Amino acid sequence: MGILSWIVFGLIAGAIAKWITPGEDPGGCLITIIIGVIGGVLGGWIGTQLGFGDISGFNVKSFLLAIAGSVILLLIYRAVKRK
């Protein structure tokens, strides 16, 4: 259930990341959702590496990690795409 939960979290986290970091995205809504999914997986991996626990399912800590990973990835995407 670990990777599946990060994908679902990522779908939601992509929308929340877009809300947290408003602005015009170069790729539109679909790219934001994809970034959310990848950011959710990235946030889960980083959280696991930093010792916040393993990917165990749906909980608040996991959801916050997914949002953080999505925001970070969205900001990186914007910085790279605008150059």
Q: What is the pLDDT of residues 12-68, one digit of tens each?
A: 888 888 888 877 766 666 777 787 788 877 887 888 888 876 556 667 877 788 788
User: What's the pTM?
Assistant: 0.75
Residue-level pLDDT at 48: 82
Give me the number of domains the chain comprises: 1
Nearest to 41 by CA among 11, 74, 69: 69
Which range of residues forms the domain containing residue 60? 2-81
For residues 15 and 67, give the distance between their C-alpha atoms in angstroms, rounded to a whole number.
Answer: 9
Measure Cα distances from 28 to 43, 52, 57, 60, 74 in Å: 22, 32, 29, 28, 12
The encoded tokens of residue 48 equal 């696991």
